Every structure is written in structure tokens, then in C-alpha cells.
């Protein structure tokens, strides 16, 4: 790691080694949660005939839970490339919204290179920690988050692919909750201080339920469902309860 950022001490820097460490620390829970979730992915990948190396490569290059799980089904039945590309686009389109939100958190002086680096690690959890972080977001902090999280994601994948079958089914079953536990831990605390956020969470859950079980609506794929619910609920909330501007300088 290069610590020589002294030329840019004016607050426009990409951050210091300290920020990197802080990012790593913040990502420890994500890392452990990822090990649990990607462990399940490793098990599934072995079932469709992927080697541990291929599974690890998938995790390292994609870092997307829902996308990877859904891809396994297409790979298993030798589906078309177009189908895979469209499915990934739809399921992961929410990252585009997250990247838009994240772009507002970065100083406008952050270089394209750093932006390309941060882009690699836009996941639900890394985004959640990044965007809710107090103060400015430094690239080094993001790299710490990404490094630690992806380490857990790949490690869990390999463990699952190699040794998954050794665990009792009951344990594997319960590990499936880990990722949702993480989501809940990210969104629920804010509902205490903001009624608008509480309503957003409840409405999104109710609407997602309707789309899952109602006739016709349930034909919409899970990726599209999440996109529709997100855009509808966030747009209505933005109209009814616009955020107060605090960052006027």
C-alpha cells in the first residue's frame, strides 16, 4: 500500500492507510456473513458440476449473491448466453441505483481509476455500509471494505464447494438466513429515528409480498420485482417526504 498521499492533504485525497484499516474493520461482519452465504453457493455450484476453481472464479469476478445463484440454474441446463446476460442485467440492475447513490457520496475530485475500483465492490452490504457511513467516503475506506468482504465471499465459496457435503443439512439450512439477517441489520436501526424510512421498509415488504403471491404479478421474475418495488416505493417516498438538505456549504 502506498501511503504517499501527502501532496493531497487538502482533504481531496483518496484516503490513508488508516482509512483502509477502518474499512477492513467495518467489513468483518460482512465477511463472516458472506462466508455463510457463499458457503451455500459453493455447495450449489458443486451440485451443477462446477469445479471449486470455477466456483471461486465466479465469486471473485461477480460478487453478487442473487446473480450467482440464478446463473447456476442456467449453467446447469446449458442455457443461452443471451438469457444469462439479460438475467444478470435485470437481477443486478439495482446496483445501478446503488452506484448512482454512491456517486453522490464521493468527492467530485475522486479519479476515474478509483471510481472503477470502487465499482467492483458495489454489493448490497458494502453499499449499505458505504452510503450510511458518516462523513466523506474515501476510496481507501472502500478498498478496505471490498478486500475483506470479497476475501470472505471467495473463501466461503471454496469451503462450500470442497467440503459442503460434509455438514449436516440442518446447519446448511440455517446458514441461509445469514444474508437476510445482514439486510435487516442494515435497514432496521434507521426506522427508529425516521418514520419515513420505517414506512418505506414496511411498504416495500408488503408490495414485494403482493408481487410474489398475487395472480399474474407473481409471473414477474424476482429481479424485476425488486426493481419495480424499489423504484415505486422510493419515488413515492421522495415525493411525500423529501429529505432535508443538511449539506449546504
Nearer to another protein, 3 or 25 (CB): 25
- Residues 61, 195, 217, 218: which binds another protein (CB under 8 A)? 61
Burial of 1 (0-12, 13-18, 19+ CB in 10 A): exposed
Query: Given the C-alpha cell 429515528, which residue does it identify?
Result: 193
Residue 214 interacts with another protein (CB under 8 A): yes or no = no
DSSP-derived letter for residue 242 is: P
- # of chain residues touching another protein (CB under 8 A): 105
Region of 8-16, 148-156, 157-165, 228-236 interacting with another protein (CB under 8 A) = 228-236
Q: Give the three-class secondary structure for 21.
A: helix
Using a 10 angstrom Cβ sphere, with 0-12 exposed, 13-18 middle and 19 or more buried, the burial of residue 85 is exposed
Q: How far is the CB of 3 from another protein (least distance, A)?
A: 25
Closest CA to 72 of 227, 59, 192: 59
State in angstroms the smallest separation of the CB of 245 from another protein. Answer: 7
Among 136, 158, 162, 191, binds another protein (CB under 8 A): 191
- Give Cβ neighbours of residue 246 (< 8 Å, ≥ 6 apart): none
- Considering only residues 69-108, where is the footprint of another protein by CB under 8 A? 71, 74-75, 78, 81, 84-85, 88-89, 92-104, 106, 108
Q: How far is CA 119 from CA 98, 114, 126, 155, 172, in A?
A: 10, 8, 11, 21, 31
Taking the complex as a whole, how short is the minimal distance between the CB of residue 41 and another protein, in angstroms? 13
Burial bucket for residue 21 (CB in 10 Å: 0-12, 13-18, 19+): middle
With binding defined as CB under 8 A, does residue 47 bind another protein? Answer: no
Q: Which of 140, 150, 159, 200 binds another protein (CB under 8 A)?
A: 200
Q: Which of residues 130-189 bind another protein (CB under 8 A)?
A: 131-132, 169-171, 173-189
25 is an interface residue for another protein by CB under 8 A: no
Output 93 or 163, the one with its CB closest to another protein: 93
- Kindly state whether residue 219 participates in binding another protein, applying the rule CB under 8 A: no
Q: Do residues 150 and 121 make contact, with C-beta atoms less than 8 angstroms apart?
A: yes
Judged by CB under 8 A, the stretch of 7-15, 124-132, 146-154, 159-167 that binds another protein is 124-132
Amino acid at each position: 500500500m502506498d501511503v504517499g498521499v501527502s501532496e493531497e492533504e487538502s482533504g481531496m485525497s483518496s484516503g490513508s492507510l488508516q482509512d483502509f484499516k477502518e474499512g477492513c474493520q467495518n467489513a468483518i461482519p460482512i465477511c463472516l456473513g458472506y462466508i455463510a452465504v457463499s458457503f451455500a453457493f459453493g455447495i450449489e455450484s458443486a451440485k451443477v458440476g462446477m469445479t471449486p476453481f470455477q466456483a471461486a472464479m465466479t465469486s471473485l469476478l461477480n460478487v453478487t449473491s442473487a446473480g450467482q445463484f440464478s446463473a447456476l440454474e442456467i449453467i446447469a441446463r446449458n442455457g443461452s448466453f443471451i438469457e444469462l446476460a439479460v438475467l444478470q442485467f435485470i437481477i443486478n440492475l439495482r446496483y445501478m441505483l446503488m452506484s448512482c447513490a454512491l456517486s453522490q457520496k464521493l468527492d467530485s475530485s475522486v479519479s476515474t481509476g478509483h471510481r472503477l475500483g470502487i465499482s467492483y465492490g458495489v454489493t448490497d452490504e458494502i453499499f449499505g455500509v458505504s452510503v450510511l457511513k458518516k462523513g466523506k467516503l474515501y476510496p481507501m475506506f472502500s478498498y478496505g471494505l471490498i478486500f475483506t468482504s470479497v476475501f470472505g465471499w471467495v473463501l466461503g465459496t471454496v469451503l462450500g464447494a470442497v467440503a459442503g457435503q460434509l455438514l449436516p443439512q440442518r446447519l446448511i439450512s440455517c446458514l441461509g438466513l445469514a444474508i437476510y439477517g445482514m439486510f435487516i441489520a442494515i435497514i432496521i436501526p434507521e426506522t427508529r429515528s425516521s418514520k419515513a424510512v420505517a414506512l418505506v421498509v414496511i411498504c416495500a415488504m408488503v408490495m414485494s409480498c403482493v408481487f410474489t403471491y398475487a395472480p399474474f404479478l407473481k409471473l414477474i421474475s424476482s429481479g424485476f420485482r425488486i426493481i419495480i418495488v424499489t423504484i415505486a416505493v422510493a419515488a413515492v417516498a421522495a415525493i411525500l417526504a423529501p429529505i432535508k438538505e443538511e449539506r449546504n456549504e
